[in-house]
Amino acid sequence: MSSTTAAPQGQRGITLRSVRWYRRKAVRELARVVCVYILIVPGAILLLLPFLWMLSTALKLPKQIFVFPPQLIPNPPQWRNFVDGWTKYVPFTLYLRNTLIITGNNILGNLFSCCLAAYGFARLRARGKDVLFLLVLGTMMLPFWVTLIPQYVLFSRLRWTNTFLPLTVPAWFGWPFFIFLLRQFFMTIPRDLDAAARIDGCSTWGILWRIILPLSKPALATVAVFAFIGNWNNFLSPLIYLRDQDKYTLAIGLQRFQGVHGNMQYHHMMAVSTLIVLPILVVYFLAQRLFVRGIVMTGMKG
């Protein structure tokens, strides 16, 4: 009789200890989450504050911009500022077209050329390919200012200045950082897939197109996002090579607007700045999951 009563008591003791352990674990997990959010939320607010102030200024009347104390929420919001800032002073629609042409071309060029180079470095066998890869990485150590004058002399002798060619053609010949990024991701894909495809009669190009690229969507999205942001915000290269105003990009157009009208039309300048920044935010949020996954998984092997 005593043995039968002792067994349930022991089981109840084990159950109570398990419940206490899970409760302590839940409390620790909750405390960890709370601490993380306590650290993240103030940092996020600090990072968002300049953008929120830009958006607030874009929706204000001129007399409301420099009032004290500052007024964060406009009353009433002036949505007309976006239309006036975009159409009234500078032909931003034309600059948007030029920027889209350059950015779209460079995204396609970077994806095409860097995928081919990274595939060769990651999957194909060739003598000296590691040395060539180190040379490619070595070009990343050269500052932009070192190659600026030689590139300008080269493009000037080719009579490419004041055209989109200096801004678009180099993208089709690879970019070292993108080649490195894709190569490291390609090396994480098992080589057994290549062998199985070879047995089924797949060619080298077929392996790249049917196996490597479909499995590399996170890395490709990362390259596309980086290429979009870099070309959308590019200011110095268009400023050097473009002279006609009908070939300007959005970055040069915004600088031109700031230099001519920015001292008097702060609300319109902030409205245009918000419209220019908005596509970057949209692209990042749409590709955020693939972008983060591509960065995290790159370099796990190789």
Is 0.75 surpassed by the pTM of this model? yes
Structural domain boundaries enclosing 27: 2-48
Tens digits of per-residue pLDDT, 205-240?
Answer: 989 998 999 988 888 988 999 999 999 999 999 999
* Domain contains 62: no
CA distances for 112 relative to 98, 134, 169, 244, 250, angstroms: 21, 21, 12, 30, 25
Q: Is the pLDDT of residue 1 over 70?
A: no
Kindly state whether residues 119 and 172 are assigned to the same domain: yes
Q: Residue 8: what pLDDT? A: 57
Question: What string of DSSP letters covers 48-62?
Answer: HHHHHHHHHHHTS-G
Kindly state whether residues 44 and 144 are assigned to the same domain: no
Kindly state whether residues 32 and 124 are assigned to the same domain: no
**Secondary structure (H, E, C), 100-167:** HHHHHHHHHHHHHHHHHHHHHHHHCCCCCHHHHHHHHHHHHHCCHHHHHHHHHHHHHHCCCCCCCHHH
Q: How many domains does the chain have?
A: 2
* Domain contains 76: no
Tens digits of per-residue pLDDT, 278-296?
Answer: 998 888 888 777 766 666 5
* Domain contains 73: no
Burial class (CB in 10 A: 0-12, 13-18, 19+), 249: buried
Q: Residue 267: what pLDDT? A: 86
Q: Residue 120: what pLDDT? A: 92
Kindly state whether residues 13 and 108 are assigned to the same domain: no
Q: Residue 237: what pLDDT? A: 92
Tens digits of per-residue pLDDT, 51-107?
Answer: 888 889 898 888 888 888 878 888 888 899 999 989 888 899 999 999 999 999 999
CB 77 within 8 A of CB 245: no
Kindly state whether residues 139 and 256 are assigned to the same domain: yes
CB 283 within 8 A of CB 226: no
What amino acid is encoded at 5 in this protein? Answer: T
Kindly state whether residues 97 and 194 are assigned to the same domain: yes
